[in-house]
Amino acid sequence: MFGHAFPVNEEGQNDADAELRQRESLRFLPGARLTGCRGTLGNFKLRLESGEEILEETAGAVVLACEMRSVPLFASYGLSGARNAISLSRLEEMLTSQKSEENGASLLGRAEQIAFLSGFAREGDPVSQRRILNSLRALDEQGYRTSIYTRDLKVADDGLVELAKTDRQLGTIFFKLDECPDISPDGGEIRHNDPVLEREVRIHPDLIVLEERFLPGPENERLARILNITTNEDGFLQDENIHRLPVRTNRMGVFAVGAARGIMTPGQTRSDAANAALALQEEFQSLQRNLFGTRAFIDEDKCCVCLTCYRLCPHGAISLEQRPVISSLACQGCGLCASQCPQEAISVLDSRLEDIGHSGSERIHAPKNAGQPPRIVAYCCRNSAYEAGMAAYAFNRDLPSGLIVVDVPCAGTINRDMILSSLKKGADGLLILGCHFGACKSTWGNAFACHQSDRLGSILEEVGLSRERIRFRTLAENMDAEFSAFTREMEESLVHLGRNPLA
Ligand code: SF4
Ligand code: SF4
């Protein structure tokens, strides 16, 4: 896309293409569509349709590199009926075809004054900025009078500051305004009160060039469904979770690069490609480690094939072979499947905790004594809150003396039995501490934990206990001060509530 803004060395590109096509390890399937995907990292079974032909392929990993689309924003600027308004893409087409035409100026007609509008209908971005600045330079060099109205100039990409300076030197006038100027519906006049000149400025452009909005590729929704991966709110193929950056998706072995995951320049896309190669290597190495690490197992005799685990696994580690099968290689041991299985058919083996269900409760065996401090079990996600807790101890933060810290693979692992068992064995209160929303490594593990805590609070109320005895909080790994504050708050509340009568 945007060949005018991001020219490629065509000769070099052709050589690279030819070289790639000769590699025996690569197969090109132009026009093929992905229509099915089973399996996990290291062993994906892909179904592809190419015309009438149906292909079954096996692949170790999947890298998504789809393009994005751009749509003009005439309506947002009230210029749907203006005959002199064109989209940035249209201008780029004109500039590109000018180069190949004898009579270069024919398409731009007799336009003398050309105005650009950018950043008022949507947030700016470096890709659009480069396209605009390159177009301005091309027009300036041909002697057009150019101006740009913009709210923000996003120049955070290589060479954009210099490009903007060159455009200024060549004659472009930059109006940086907080609000969109007044534009007559026929596009004949643009008027604004200039904060620098301290007077009204009117121009009468022959041509108005409008910014565009980027949309994800038209296939994204379908691909996300087939690959069972989450998208961001705009529909790009990577959700907004810090654990996924730069190129991972929520499914191990599926990567998204460039415009597949957001608005990217070609330079960023090339970095993404390199990052995908690195991430792939890392994941294949982790496969080897996983052979001896954390895993979940299904007891087939108990499983009623309700498929809750299959739908829920945030890492795409469960496939369907008539019944759910957990890939011991792709499983991250988060335990979400086990906590939600209605048949209690799944167990998670963990290298650090033999059985996370009882590790907290087994350490609560002190006899009830009114003089002792309240006993608090804090189930801490080891991706965030556990680190915060360890930092709180390391920095000698003020912590309750009756606090028992239990690290769990994900806060979403906690289920009713674990909580009730802890209460029965003597805990006065329970804290479930997970990652912030949107930053959970298991995508929705913290949301489950929050919901679970709420439900368990209601159960406690039903048996005559205060729901204050169980709380869910979110933390980042560096929030040791907050860890101290949450646990102290809980302690104060438990002092007020008194000992747990169930213990
Ligand atoms: S959630 Fe449990 S019962 Fe349902 S399919 Fe998975 S293992 Fe079987
Ligand atoms: S433990 Fe987590 S990653 Fe493993 S199968 Fe269950 S939900 Fe998926």
Q: Band of the pLDDT at 353, cuts 50, 70, 90?
A: very low
Tokens of 189: 């006049």
Over 90: is that where the pLDDT of 97 sits?
A: no
Q: Would you state the pLDDT for residue 252?
A: 87
Alpha carbons 97 and 137: distance in angstroms, whole number: 16
Q: Would you state the pLDDT for residue 371?
A: 67
Over 60: is that where the pLDDT of 364 sits?
A: no
Over 50: is that where the pLDDT of 278 sits?
A: yes
The mean pLDDT value for 188-204 works out to: 92
Q: How far is the CA of 347 from the centre of ligand 1 (A)?
A: 11
Q: How far is the CA of 46 from the centre of ligand 2 (A)?
A: 22
The residue written with tokens 């690290």 in the block is 407
Q: Is the CB of 98 under 6 A from ligand 1?
A: no
Q: Is the CB of 316 under 6 A from ligand 2?
A: no
Which residue owns the Cα nearest ligand 1 atom 2?
341
Domains 294-349 and 364-497 share a fold: no
Pocket test for ligand 1, best of 318, 319, 339, 346 (most atoms within 8 A of CB): 346
Over 70: is that where the pLDDT of 99 sits?
A: no
pLDDT one-digit tens code per residue, 106-126: 557 677 899 999 999 988 888
Q: Is the CB of 306 under 6 A from ligand 1?
A: yes
Phi/psi for 19 (5° steps) reads -65, -40
Q: How far is the CA of 344 from the centre of ligand 1 (A)?
A: 8
The helix/strand/coil state of 72 is: strand
Domain 294-349 is of which CATH architecture?
2-Layer Sandwich (3.30)
Q: What is the average pLDDT score of the chain?
A: 87
CATH of 70-214, one of 3.10.20.600, 3.40.50.20, 3.40.640.10, 3.50.50.60: 3.50.50.60
Q: How far is the CA of 419 from the centre of ligand 1 (A)?
A: 21
Q: Band of the pLDDT at 356, cuts 50, 70, 90?
A: very low
pLDDT one-digit tens code per residue, 445-502: 999 999 999 999 999 999 888 999 999 999 999 999 999 999 999 999 999 999 888 7
67: number of Cβ within 10 Å: 12
pLDDT one-digit tens code per residue, 149-191: 999 777 777 788 898 999 999 999 999 999 999 999 999 999 9
Q: Band of the pLDDT at 354, cuts 50, 70, 90?
A: very low
The helix/strand/coil state of 222 is: helix
Q: Is the CB of 320 under 6 A from ligand 1?
A: no
Specify the DSSP class assigned to residue 105.
T
In CATH terms, the fold of domain 32-68+216-289 is FAD/NAD(P)-binding domain (3.50.50)
Q: Would you state the pLDDT for residue 502?
A: 79
The mean pLDDT value for 425-454 works out to: 92
Specify the DSSP class assigned to residue 64.
E
The residue written with tokens 């913009």 in the block is 150
